[in-house]
Structure 1
Amino acid sequence: MNKNLKNSILIIVGLILLNTINQSFYERFDLTADNRYTLSKTTENILSKVDDILFVTVYLEGDFPSEFKRLQAETRQYLEELATTNSNIKINFETPDNQREDLIKRGMLPSQLTVEEEGKLSEAIIFPWAEVTYGKKSTIASLLPNAIVASQDEQLQKAIENLEYSFSNAINSVTQNRQKSVAVITGNGELQDIYQYSFLSEVAKKYKLAKFTLDSVAANPQQTLQDLMSLDLAIIAKPTERFTEKEKLTLDQYIANGGKTLWMLDNVQADQDSLFNSGKMLAYPRDLNLTDLLFSYGIRINTTLIKDLYAAQIPLATGKVGNQTQFKNLDWFYHPLVGGNPNHPITKNVSPVRLQFANQIDTLTNNIKKTPLLLSSTLTKKIGTPGFIELQSIADEVTEEEYADGNQLFAVLLEGNFKSAYKDRVKPFETPLFKEHATKNKMVIISDGDIGKNQILKKQPFDLNRDKWTNQQFGNKDFLLNTVDYLLDDAGLIQLRNKTLQIRTLDKQKAFKERTFWQFLNVALPLLLLFAFGFVFNYLRKRKYC
């Protein structure tokens, strides 16, 4: 056997061996600086539960703005990573053109974009949604988060940052064996159902929702407490009547036994309807008999109202033209527009939240971890109660010196081992379920009962994120839904909302100005170099052989 034949056989054997190894081992490497395609442990745990075919249908296919083709590409690459991790995941991209009405009926509303290309502005409509189906369960995932951004580049970055959370959240929702339950507490003059519809209808898409009245506490408090403990989260939305000691102990022991709570409380009675009807109203403290309960958790809600120069608008009649009343939208400082904590997953990328006649929260020193969620601007003014509020004050001249009370706290997250308010106290009823401390529990307290109250338009509930008069957009619903998700999240899923990526985008103005240079560099120059090489090569060849 000659040397050449030996080498050929070795090469063939080596190729066969490499091919066998290649078929046996498969690995993807994330070489991005920010580990964009590396899945978190939370996502890996969720994917490990997918033991049957899971379909992901993405409606980002077709002709749409070039910058959002980046979102399409990033979505495709991310889903390919999911499918590589679990082969049960099947991906399909579809164009929404022939099914727009059906998508809208299923809650997938289109987004209208203003696009700048080659110095010209144009309008485009896309459906930035995906549908996840697992067995008989299905849910939708938004690929374009609702947030106030300075540019579409920033909107694109936030959308790409949110991909892992959106898909992991959707997959977790359809693969969960046990659906968690949410109780809407009634019996103390809380908001009626129609005023909570916009918020609670979204909660009901993901969790079991049930009304739970505390009226039965008076007759059988032990059974009421036991029934309440079967639910995972209790929402207390703007109670207006005093809580009895038995009702307070019931809520206290629900918390001590691990129940999560979301409190939306007004400590001041301020009726906006009477303000618009008569032009003025009396604002006065409301006694809910909750002060000692909240105090034991390290919180005090004051009875002062906060005016903020950064505020939402209300429509006011400013005169008539002919027989038509003219309205103008004016800033109403009793409706603060408050920002969220940018470093917490509940409030990251959430639009400013509108509050109405909100009170200030004080935090007290104890062993509970307190995380501010909603803060006013620095230009605030405290208004003591009782006192009259007049609509005509909207025309008063404003100076910054008057509004120098600084940032005010309106919503706070509490986490830790809560001490029972009835420890070392006489209890209004005895129960074998009594505990002196809760272990690793959490709750959110908001000092505005109207934060989750939607308006009514033509006897139908209006979107909580919009004002029906001024058409202003707010982040109320997103904030509350994120809060519910955080309180009920045992897998750490909500932490994925804190993911930060650095998306490198083009400077459009610079690219437009320099487009001729770059077109020449990328198209004409290679052809010229090729022509020059051919000419020189032929010239040298002729000199050598001719």
Structure 2
Amino acid sequence: MKHKKSIASQLVLIVVALVLLNVLSERFFFRLDFTEDKIYTLSNATKDILESLDEPVTVTAYFTKGSQPEIEKARNDFKDLLIEYSSLSGGMVNYEFIDPAKDQAIEQEAMQSGIQPLILNIREKDQVKQQKVFLGAKIQMGEQTDIIPVIQPGTAMEYALSSSIKKLSVIDKPMVGFIQGQGEPGISSYQQAMQQLQVLYNMQPVNLTDTINNLSAFKTLAIVAPADSFSDAQLRKLDDYLANGGNLFIAYSNVEGDFQTMRGTVVNSNLAGWLAEKGLAVENNFVIDKSAGTVGVRQQAGAMTFTRQIPFYYWPMVKEFPVEFPITKGLEQVTLQFASSINFTGDTTLRFTPFLQSSKKSGTLSTPTYFNIQKQWGDNDFPLSNLTIGAVLDGAIVGDAVS
């Protein structure tokens, strides 16, 4: 079982890392083709990046030669990739390979750049020896530099290299603000998402009580898992932001679960009321789904204690997506921890598009509720289907501007 605080961090990991990246970065590849027959085919996004380069890029690859076959294969694959990058970019991508083992000064240069060696255990004639191996790269464009500390084999090579080049080539990055002050997790709580988003965006925490913040400077504002209510003045600021054509990403559920008390309750926030004014009714219920994530339960068998994974039906696992939509493009599945159903109550001037729905065997439970791990669930517990648990609302939500 996990503490309540870990629930919020996992919610952030799932919702932000898997959904927010697609919301904000739909024009950049965050999903690569891992199928066997296309493993060496560059994505269209990579081709667009290379064909639009206005300034030369220099890639300095630090690889240790004469090491293990896997390292040699990674070196050869990376070289083949760079050859193709150079060709598609019309010679704008230049590269060189350096073996740090040949020169102590070069080894120090690589390490000072942020490329640290890997220590491999090599078995030779029934003895285990340690070998220091470099397999990283430095990417330069003008005076800007980015580092790939370790080059992973396979399609991860393209992802890392294209991300690095894109990061250096974007000049004016739009601003994305993460609202803080109502119990939301700090930006440091989802570093994985931040690392990916910084390729195309500048991220900044935003406190709505701060009078110096100019919200119009932000392309998108994100509200992630608020635990407390907003003041009337803060909600008016959000209304003004939407009225001026701003975009809001909200990761919010009206319910929360506490594994210490094994109870589920309503979140004490007025955000649901504010959303209801916009035509989004976030219900005070738990969506349960036969397609669900799992939790570990400790069990005793004689003198032995072990952990068994069991389905936890309060965590809907979405495997099928209702529409072809940028938010869910490339996702295989999304697990939401303690989700509420969403209903649209607005008029035809707004467009409501569900992008996350429960399975054909799902249901709802009212609050408060008790999480009975020992309960024997049956099909009668899941009488509903296709409940909306994630949606996009666009149109003139506030005023005449389209958000």
Alignment of 1:505-516 (within 5 A): none
Do structure 1's residue 327 and structure 2's residue 307 form an aligned pair? Answer: yes
Residue equivalent to 1:388: 369
Work out the CA distance in 1 between the residues paired with 2:193 and 2:396.
28
- Change over 3 Å in CA distance of 1:83–1:294 after alignment to 2: farther
Alignment of 1:335-350 (within 5 A): 335-339=315-319, 341=321, 343-350=324-331
Alignment of 1:39-50 (within 5 A): 43-44=47-48, 47-50=51-54
1:419 pairs with one of 372, 397, 401: 397
CA contact (8 A) 2:227 2:267 kept: no
1:180 pairs with one of 174, 179, 192: 174
Deviation at residue 167 of structure 1 after TM alignment: 4.9
Q: 3-state DSSP class of the match of 2:233?
A: helix
1:53 pairs with one of 43, 53, 57: 57
1:82 pairs with one of 77, 82, 85: 85
Residue equivalent to 2:184: 190
- Change over 3 Å in CA distance of 1:178–1:71 after alignment to 2: same
Q: Which amino acid aligns with 1:419?
A: I
When normalised by structure 2's length, the TM-score is 0.66
- Change over 3 Å in CA distance of 1:107–1:70 after alignment to 2: closer
Deviation at residue 358 of structure 1 after TM alignment: 0.8
Work out the CA distance in 2 between the residues paired with 1:309 and 1:107.
46
Residue equivalent to 1:358: 339
1:133 pairs with one of 122, 125, 140: 140
5+ long unaligned stretches in structure 2: 1-37, 120-132
Residue equivalent to 1:8: none
Alignment of 1:107-118 (within 5 A): none
Deviation at residue 378 of structure 1 after TM alignment: 2.2
Deviation at residue 357 of structure 1 after TM alignment: 0.9
CA contact (8 A) 1:188 1:243 kept: yes
Deviation at residue 89 of structure 1 after TM alignment: 0.5
Structure 1 or 2, whichever has the larger Rg, is: 1
1:311 pairs with one of 292, 317, 320: 292
- Change over 3 Å in CA distance of 1:37–1:242 after alignment to 2: closer
5+ long unaligned stretches in structure 1: 1-33, 111-125, 146-155, 424-435, 442-546
Deviation at residue 213 of structure 1 after TM alignment: 1.1
CA contact (8 A) 2:242 2:397 kept: no
2:389 pairs with one of 410, 414, 420: 410
Residue equivalent to 2:356: 374
Work out the CA distance in 2 between the residues paired with 1:294 and 1:79.
52
Q: Which amino acid aligns with 1:136?
A: Q
Q: Which amino acid aligns with 2:204?
A: A
Work out the CA distance in 2 between the residues paired with 1:356 and 1:251.
26
Residue equivalent to 1:531: none
Work out the CA distance in 2 between the residues paired with 1:64 and 1:211.
46
Q: Which amino acid aligns with 2:209?
A: D
- Change over 3 Å in CA distance of 1:353–1:320 after alignment to 2: same
Work out the CA distance in 1 between the residues paired with 2:178 and 2:206.
6
CA contact (8 A) 1:360 1:410 kept: yes
Do structure 1's residue 259 and structure 2's residue 246 form an aligned pair? Answer: yes
Work out the CA distance in 2 between the residues paired with 1:354 and 1:362.
20
Do structure 1's residue 437 and structure 2's residue 401 form an aligned pair? Answer: yes
Q: Which amino acid aligns with 1:347?
A: T
Q: 3-state DSSP class of the match of 1:249?
A: helix
Work out the CA distance in 2 between the residues paired with 1:82 and 1:189.
45
When normalised by structure 1's length, the TM-score is 0.51
Deviation at residue 399 of structure 1 after TM alignment: 1.8
Work out the CA distance in 2 between the residues paired with 1:264 and 1:340.
20
CA contact (8 A) 1:190 1:238 kept: yes
The alignment-based identity, stated in percent, is 18
Work out the CA distance in 2 between the residues paired with 1:79 and 1:253.
48
- Change over 3 Å in CA distance of 1:264–1:175 after alignment to 2: same
Residue equivalent to 2:209: 215
- Change over 3 Å in CA distance of 1:72–1:376 after alignment to 2: farther
Q: Which amino acid aligns with 1:55?
A: V
1:288 pairs with one of 245, 262, 270: 270
Work out the CA distance in 2 between the residues paired with 1:56 and 1:408.
51
Q: Which amino acid aligns with 1:355?
A: L
Matched residue count: 341
- Change over 3 Å in CA distance of 1:37–1:282 after alignment to 2: closer
Q: Which amino acid aligns with 1:403?
A: F
